[in-house]
Amino acid sequence: MKMTKEELLNLVNEKVENQDVKIELMENITDSMDVVADTSNMVDKATYDSLQADYEALKQKYADRFLAKEETKEEEEKKDDEVKEDAVVDVKEI
């Protein structure tokens, strides 16, 4: 069962009789559970959304740039193959 900080402190206060041990445990619980969130690395939602939009635009730009050329090369190769096939003339027909 997961307890809150206050519940745990109350339990220690009720169960432990030795004052020195009780104080030590309560101090350790208080120091351990008072974790302050580090917000220095966090950005606000507007900045995050702006950066996310920029990232998506950049990703699309590179996809268009590099993937479009690959498709164009494949299409050109198909056209070249078709032209080569048409260029073949059978000598017997002449």
User: What's the rounded Cα separation, in Å, for the pair 67 and 38?
Assistant: 41
Distance CA 69, CA 76 (A): 10
**Residue-wise pLDDT tens digits, 25-75:** 989 888 887 655 556 677 888 999 999 999 999 999 988 888 876 656 666
pLDDT value at residue 65: 85
The more confidently predicted of residues 94 and 46 is 46
Pick from 15, 10, 9: which is nearest to 28 by CA?
9
- Are 28 and 4 contacting, i.e. CB atoms less than 8 angstroms apart? no
